[in-house]
């Protein structure tokens, strides 16, 4: 099978970064999602949704809010390989995205749009999905709102009103630990720096 070099691969030196190289692409009936907390120069969260064998990705500077009145900016980034859903580690100084990455939440999710596939919903800029994570649950919308001239697309991530909506919860501050290792990104960073 011929493979083309993706933007993900072009941006990284796999001799230096501990991030997975990837390559596996397979259809899944129960797609996965992951939210990484990324302690980069500009700290942010990365929401990644498995769509057609890759992880469609958005950087969410403030992270998800469970308050349905709150809209969180989400900026698309390059697709990541499926293996990235399990990645937790420290990207070395000088490399693209340098800093600690933890698996802040993960699980399965499903498309709530009955009229079209996830891939088409993404192209249309209107995703509606149900998350089954450890921290994030219920219905969410991720909607493209356009882009300024010469700038990246802007999307908004919004919790939908359901039994999992909660205006008082602040999961990004009260539940900061990795669901994989129990560590915070600061602890992981400190370990790496020895």
* Interface of this chain with Mn ion, residues 175 to 194, rule: CB under 5 A: none
Question: What is the Cα–Cα distance from 31 to 38, expressed in whole angstroms?
Answer: 22
State the nearest-atom distance from the C-beta of 46 to Mn ion, in Å.
4
Residues near 47 by beta carbon (within 8 Å), at least 6 away in sequence: 33, 35, 57, 58, 60, 64, 74, 142, 157
**Number of shown-chain residues binding Mn ion (CB under 5 A):** 2
Exactly one of 33, 35, 37, 38 binds Mn ion (CB under 5 A); that residue is: 38
State the nearest-atom distance from the C-beta of 83 to Mn ion, in Å.
16
**Is the distance from CB of 64 to CB of 35 less than 8 angstroms?**
yes
State the nearest-atom distance from the C-beta of 59 to Mn ion, in Å.
5
Q: Looking at beta carbons, which residue is closest to Mn ion? A: 38
Question: What is the Cα–Cα distance from 113 to 77, expressed in whole angstroms?
Answer: 23
Exactly one of 19, 37, 46, 50 binds Mn ion (CB under 5 A); that residue is: 46
Q: Is 138 helix (H, G, I), strand (E, B) or coil?
A: strand
Is residue 19 a contact residue for Mn ion (CB under 5 A)? Answer: no
Closer to Mn ion by Cβ: residue 46 or 105: 46
Q: Which two tokens stand for residue 133?
A: 């994570």
Binding site for Mn ion (CB under 5 A): 38, 46
């Amino acid at each position: 099978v011929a493979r083309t070099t993706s933007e993900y691969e072009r941006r990284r030196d796999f001799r230096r970064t501990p991030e997975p190289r990837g390559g596996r692409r397979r259809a899944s009936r129960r797609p996965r999602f992951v939210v990484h907390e990324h302690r980069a120069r500009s700290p942010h969260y990365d929401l990644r949704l498995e769509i057609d064998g890759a992880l469609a990705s958005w950087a969410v500077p403030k992270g998800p809010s469970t308050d349905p009145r709150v809209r969180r900016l989400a900026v698309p980034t390059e697709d990541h390989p499926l293996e990235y859903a399990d990645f937790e580690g420290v990207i070395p100084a000088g490399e693209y995205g340098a800093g600690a990455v933890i698996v802040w939440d993960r699980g399965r999710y499903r498309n709530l749009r009955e009229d079209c596939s996830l891939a088409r919903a993404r192209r249309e800029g209107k995703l509606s999905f149900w998350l089954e994570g450890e921290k994030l649950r219920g219905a969410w919308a991720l909607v493209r709102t356009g882009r300024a001239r010469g700038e990246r697309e802007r999307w908004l991530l919004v919790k939908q009103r359901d039994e999992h909506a909660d205006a008082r919860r602040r999961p990004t501050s009260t539940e900061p630990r990795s669901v994989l290792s129990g560590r915070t990104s600061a602890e992981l960073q400190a370990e790496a720096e020895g």
